Chains A and B, each alone.
Chain A
Amino acid sequence: DIQMTQSPSTLSASVGDRVTITCRASQSISSWLAWYQQKPGKAPKLLIYKASSLESGVPSRFSGSGSGTEFTLTISSLQPDDFATYYCQQYSTYPRTFGQGTKVEIK
């Protein structure tokens, strides 16, 4: 199985901060990576697919980059609605695997 490792596990930040979350794959997944946002009690929401493509309707302050084994999700200016948990997921091979999540908290 491909292991997906996110860092940090928790991130404390203020509104307006630039935030970066890293996701590392245990082997190359090319660009077959998605990022999801999940709020408490809600289903995950697709933000980014194919490592860097922004899902329709997602604010442009979200961006993704990377390929191979190293990926990042960046929020250019953190907004109150962005406090949530973020997951990466590889869809290069089976079984599909998710990272352990990064919780973005209010500082």
Chain B
Amino acid sequence: QITLKESGPTLVKPTQTLTLTCTFSGFSLSTSGVGVGWIRQPPGEALEWFALIFWDDDKRYSPSLKSRLTITKDTSKNQVVLTMTNMDPVDTATYYCAHLSKWSSRGDSFDFWGQGTMVTVSS
């Protein structure tokens, strides 16, 4: 079955760079149509999509965060790595990674999610 799990620091200081890793199993990011996205959720607030990488290395970013983001994949390790530079307290949130399969009936909806990892930005 498909599982995803986020890992990374729980606390970062303002201006630092955040690096999060999504480690997954049950699928391969070399399979046509597969993608892994990142979605975050500040405490008590709504979900916000901000990055996505596909099997063919196509990458998509939220315009509001694009200048700060880099998403990469390591197919051999079944991992997706996200870096976000210049962290600010407003970036405090739970960060989720999620799977999609473009060619499935579900299309680009996120059908499997990791448990999320809470990141606090504070000095």
| A contact set with B: CB distance below 8 Å | 1, 32, 34, 36, 38, 42-46, 49-50, 53, 55, 87, 89, 91, 94-101
Contacts and interface: CB of A to CB of B under 8 A. Distances in A.
A43 B113 CA distance: 6
15 contacts: A43-B115, A46-B109, A49-B106, A53-B106, A55-B111, A89-B109, A94-B60, A95-B50, A95-B62, A96-B37, A96-B52, A98-B46, A98-B47, A100-B46, A101-B46
B26 interface: no
Interface size range on B against A: 20 to 34
B50 to A, nearest CB: 8
Contacts of B108: 32, 91, 96
Given A32-B107, A32-B108, A53-B105, A45 B113 contact: yes
A99 B116 contact: no
Interface of B: 37, 39, 46-50, 52, 60-64, 96, 105-111, 113-116
B49 A46 contact: no
Contacts, number: 69
B96 A98 contact: no
Give the top 7 A-B pairs by smallest Cβ distance, nearest first. Answer: A34-B109, A43-B113, A91-B108, A96-B49, A49-B109, A98-B47, A95-B62
Contacts of A101: 46-47
Contact of A50 (B49, B61, B105): B105
A96 B37 CA distance: 10
Contacts of B96: 43-44
Contacts of B63: 1, 95
Given A44-B96, A55-B111, A101-B47, 11 more contacts: A32-B108, A34-B110, A43-B113, A43-B114, A43-B115, A46-B109, A50-B109, A53-B105, A87-B46, A91-B109, A96-B37
